Structure 1
């Protein structure tokens, strides 16, 4: 079977990270694969390290004709059975299959379906996204749920000393783009309600300076470390005690899966993705969205009860092993590919 993937991703982002993970994982199977990405030296390097030599195209705006021609050229040369596009722009620039191949788009959010009308199948990475597709008029038998996976490789912990963090301090970790949707402002206000707790915030984005100023205003700047974009997330998890996801809007919650995979208790705002993944009090703690007091109380709860924290971490790890490992998810993708290329009569 031949699979061609197109991804017009941003420099950073959860979908981009998972695309790279999935492409490299599929490369280990018996399918043949070609990958087309927006020009990005760092992503291309990671893919090459995983055995994939990607084709790089501009994926520009309306006047970018090079990308469309380039995708058509690669399709003609490679003769794929399936073309899998990621998000709006790549899907729009990928031609319809018209019986020559099956065109599939993968959605990680509640996107406008005008970009997807010429697709044969759509994949949502949560059941709620699949339900949204059907509600918007997409045929139910051509809407499919395929989850993400995260890696579980452990790493030596980052030195707390190097990040000016006491070895015995209760330490929260949070990851994500410094954007309004991620609600790091609420997290900072929650941390201000819990004396002694330190926070490592790994990510970049347009709100960095605003969040730094808020930390100063709340008098917690000495307990908060803005780490920027990091590739060594496993080492950050290993050094931390609890993972927290404060997002206002989080369609899936990859970071919840990462917390589980790294054996950490997870606290999350009850936004759509984390609220679907977590069973409150069993494999994580949920608190209302945009409620700094409730989030602060959740932080106090987990740090004050070691037996409870251990239970959360253990149950989260078990959920990850059962549903979200690389093998489990890749097997589901392979079954899906087989199903849509060899439909039953």
Structure 2
């Protein structure tokens, strides 16, 4: 089985991080792959370190004619049975399969509710949540060509990040949140909630356009001294190990991959009931759910977990069990291998 994967994503992001994990996982499982990525020195090096040699292309705008030409060259030399593209840009850059010497099955993986005008060339679509698959059906994509394949996250346990390097007192409670500093992630709601969570420190790992507004809000509410804004980090397992609670406050979250990451690291989770977390979490069993944009309710749930070690332990244990049932690397990699074989036959 020969599979070509094409990713033209941003420098950082959940889909981009999962792409790297999946490609490496499939490589370890023995799949014959060729990988095309948007030029990204760090991502390319991670793939090389894992034993893969990616093809780096520009994936520019409408006037970028070289990228489709180079993709066509890779198709003709590698002759894949299946091509998996990731999101809009990579899919839109795929060349026509005419002439007939380009004979492969084209699938695209969607991590959101994207406009299907970019996917007209595709034979199959993959959603990483059941809700995205439902959306594809409602958009009149044929049901037999819709496939649900979840993400997985690494479960490597690492020593906790030292509190002194984060400038957090050893005896204080540490809340962790992750993601792009974007309005959809609702970090402003979490900062408002922090004003009602005495003594705890909030660590935000991520970067984005809302940073200045979030810092101003924290200053206005008097909680800026208890917030650590770290930017993008490559030590998420260490940060998870250091925290007492993980919070996902999103307004819009199709999957909630960060919830799975927290479960994999045995951490209790509080999240808002946006689509992804609400589909993952059974409230009161493997996490606590609160209404979107309700800072007082979010603060109440956070305080409840931070003040009750038994509850925190029970939520963490149930979350880990949920992870082991559905979201391990071995399980998800095998599902992708079965999917490639199914659509290629």
TM over 0.5: yes
Q: Does 1:74 align with 2:74?
A: yes
SS of the counterpart of 1:110? coil
Q: Separation in 2 of the partners of 1:97 and 1:45?
A: 31
SS of the counterpart of 1:255? helix
Quote the offset at 1:96 in angstroms.
4.8
Match of 2:56 in 1: 56
Match of 1:318 in 2: 321
> Residues 178-208 of structure 1, C-alpha deviation per residue, up to 9 Å, x if partnerless?
0100000000000111111110000000111
Q: Separation in 2 of the partners of 1:153 and 1:221?
A: 32
SS of the counterpart of 1:165? coil
SS of the counterpart of 1:85? strand
Match of 1:29 in 2: 29
The number of residues matched between the two structures is 342
Contact 1:97 1:103 in 2 (8 A): no
Q: Separation in 1 of the partners of 2:303 and 2:166?
A: 23
> Residues 56-100 of structure 1, C-alpha deviation per residue, up to 9 Å, x if partnerless?
000000000110001000000000000000000100111355671
Quote the offset at 1:30 in angstroms.
2.4
Quote the offset at 1:118 in angstroms.
1.2
1:124-135 equivalences under 5 Å are 124-135=127-138
In structure 1, runs of 5+ residues without a counterpart are none
SS of the counterpart of 2:301? helix
Match of 1:191 in 2: 194
Alignment partner of 2:335 out of 322, 327, 332: 332
Q: Does 1:38 align with 2:38?
A: yes
Q: Does 1:290 align with 2:293?
A: yes
Q: Could you state the TM-score of these two structures normalised by the residue count of structure 1?
A: 0.98
Quote the offset at 1:50 in angstroms.
1.2
Q: Separation in 2 of the partners of 1:148 and 1:159?
A: 29
SS of the counterpart of 1:228? coil
Q: Separation in 2 of the partners of 1:112 and 1:158?
A: 40
Q: Does 1:238 align with 2:241?
A: yes
Q: Does 1:259 align with 2:262?
A: yes
Contact 2:69 2:95 in 1 (8 A): no
Q: Separation in 1 of the partners of 2:15 and 2:166?
A: 28
1:295-306 equivalences under 5 Å are 295-306=298-309
Q: Separation in 2 of the partners of 1:187 and 1:41?
A: 34
Q: Does 1:229 align with 2:238?
A: no
Match of 1:181 in 2: 184
Residues 96/124 of structure 1: CA separation in 2 closer, same or farther (3 Å cut): farther
Q: Does 1:116 align with 2:119?
A: yes
Q: Separation in 2 of the partners of 1:97 and 1:287?
A: 48
Q: Separation in 1 of the partners of 2:119 and 2:12?
A: 23
In structure 2, runs of 5+ residues without a counterpart are none
Match of 2:213 in 1: 210
Match of 2:4 in 1: 4
Match of 1:201 in 2: 204
Quote the offset at 1:51 in angstroms.
1.0
> Residues 106-149 of structure 1, C-alpha deviation per residue, up to 9 Å, x if partnerless?
00000000000110000000001001001000000000000000
Match of 2:89 in 1: 89
